[in-house]
Amino acid sequence: MKIGYVTIISLFLVFAVISGNAYSIVQIKEKKMDENQLILDDINFLLDNANLDIIRPRSSIPVFVERNGSFRVDFNSNIFENIYLYMSTSYEPIEDRILLDVESFEKENDGWYAIVKVPFETPVELYNLTLIILKDDKYYSTSRPRAVSIVDSFDDNFNFVHITDFHVGDPRGFAESIRETIGYKSVRRCIYEINLLNPDFVIISGDLVFGQLYPFEYRREYKKCYDMIQMFDVPTFLAPGNHDGYRRLGEDGLEIWQEYFGPLYYSFDYGNYHFLSINSFDWPAEQRWTISFLSFNWGGGVGNRQIGWIEQDLKTNDANLTFMFMHHNPLWDTINDNFLGLHYKNQDILLEIIDDYNVDMVLAGHTHIDNITIKNDTIFVTTTTPESEIRVDDGYWGYRLIEIEDGKIKKYNYKEPRFSIPSYKFKVEYNSKYSATVINDLEMDIEVLLKFTVPKRPYIIENAVIQYIREDGILREYYLIVNVAKESNLEANLNYIN
């Protein structure tokens, strides 16, 4: 979602001055340029610039930063005189805006990068990132939603969700439930449930779109998928699948992927834990052709160049645990997934690298089933789909919660020996703006995050623990943690104190 930036800088700095908001910590800073002092709240208009673009971080590859920490912003721009960056909370009714300290910026190859520092008082939250440049006494801006996740500190206890095979635009889910497939309701339901569980981040391992119905379908489906990804309240990391990358008349899915989501493979760190996103549909264009439902190849493959990158990335890796995520499970040859007689390209080499560099877990999709296979101490995880066809009798739509405790992989199954969490098994019903009931039909206890935006008054919290409070002069937003036992209901309340 793109924010309107025509007056945003003047508004947010004026707001910071007059509100006295303890949670809005924008600092007005002066920047010296050509011996003239510029105060940011004097900027009263911003212009679009087609040549200005934040490359990374972005909503599909966000960055984790501790408070008072620094991070790198890669961007494209014409020549400019100065830059400014700030963060704003993503899609909250009460918005924090935090001005970042630009420590340095440098030219690199065909683009630029800046090193920016986060103020220590910055609330733990997921933020949009906005870049402003000054050129010829005019100001231009661009933004990336959900690009920066501020954490209090990294430790050895965290969790994340694995979800795969969105298949936005896929009609095959009609056989499971027409009502829930129309309007992508089942994918939206999974996003809703994941937001309630509030993991530290989400990994999505391919087949986000369908791409096999009608001409120029990718443009519509990628836009819809991008908008749906923005519904996540937590950071999201993506890898492409075969449905994302078909070569069609007038369209190449992998090219459009890069427009919306960035590079086809990359790595990131969460503290001392390392993750590699792999493109397992890494075939040349002529081996990715499809004509409507007729696809000539939908099998796995990792090209030589990417193999070299994977090995080089792992050589410099000294993480406590290492994870890979990709669409095609490298344990399974995919020769039956094409009409070209192609085996899983570089399958043996990839498995050898996984073994040699002691990768702890590999996450995959593609088959629409749940599977756990442990080989040479590596846990190979395949997770079902949230919307498309189910291919086993005991299967269902869902997603998987993976828990790390004391630096070790503690849990990755909802039920043994392989099952992920089924969707449509818990929900929240808001009784009023002061009360909500969590209905948990799962066979496990859950911890959910509820949000209440209420008038700024004193309250007693019932059946919940305060995680965070955001407020302005009139309203207060409560983030409440509610623990609900399996197969039970629990009501959380804000009781006003007279």
Per-domain residue ranges of the chain: 8-151, 158-422, 427-496
Say which CATH topology domain 427-496 has: Immunoglobulin-like (2.60.40)
The pLDDT value given to residue 50? 64
Query: Mean pLDDT over all residues of the chain?
Result: 90
pLDDT tens-place string over residues 454-469? 999 999 999 999 999 9
DSSP codes joined into one string, 458-471? -EEEES-EEEEEEE
Ranges of H-type helices in 211-368:
217-229, 253-261, 304-315, 347-356
pLDDT tens-place string over residues 128-145? 999 999 988 888 999 999
- Provide the b/e sequence for 345-359 (b: ≥16 CB within 10 Å): bbbeebbebbeeeeb
- Minimum mean pLDDT among 34-38, 152-156, 274-278, 483-487: which range? 34-38
Does the pLDDT value for residue 39 go beyond 90?
Answer: no
pLDDT tens-place string over residues 72-123? 999 999 889 999 999 999 888 988 999 999 999 999 999 999 999 999 999 9
Give the mean pLDDT of 357-361. Answer: 98
pLDDT-derived band of residue 14, with 50, 70 and 90 as boundaries?
A: very low
pLDDT tens-place string over residues 305-323? 999 999 999 999 999 999 9
Amino acid at 260: Y
DSSP class of residue 436 equals E
The pLDDT value given to residue 18? 27
Q: Say whether 242 sits in a helix, a strand or coil.
A: helix
Choices 3.40.50.10190, 3.30.300.90, 3.60.21.10, 3.90.79.10: CATH for 158-422: 3.60.21.10
pLDDT tens-place string over residues 370-409? 999 999 999 999 999 999 999 999 999 999 999 999 999 9
Whole-model pTM?
Answer: 0.91
More confident residue, 368 or 34: 368
The pLDDT value given to residue 174? 85
Q: Could you tell me which of 310, 297, 366 has the C-alpha nearest to residue 338? A: 297
The bridge status of strand 475-484 relative to strand 446-455 is antiparallel
Contacts of 256 (CB under 8 A, 6+ apart): 218, 219, 222
413 Ramachandran zone, left/alpha/beta (phi>0; psi -120 to 50): beta
Task: Let me know if the fold of 8-151 is the same as that of 427-496.
Answer: yes
442 in Cβ contact with 428 (< 8 Å)? no
More confident residue, 35 or 225: 225
pLDDT tens-place string over residues 167-224? 998 899 888 888 888 888 999 999 999 999 999 999 999 999 999 999 999 999 999 9
pLDDT tens-place string over residues 17-33? 223 222 222 222 233 33
The pLDDT value given to residue 46? 67
The pLDDT value given to residue 32? 33
The pLDDT value given to residue 292? 86
The pLDDT value given to residue 24? 25
Q: Say whether 179 sits in a helix, a strand or coil.
A: helix
Say which CATH topology domain 8-151 has: Immunoglobulin-like (2.60.40)
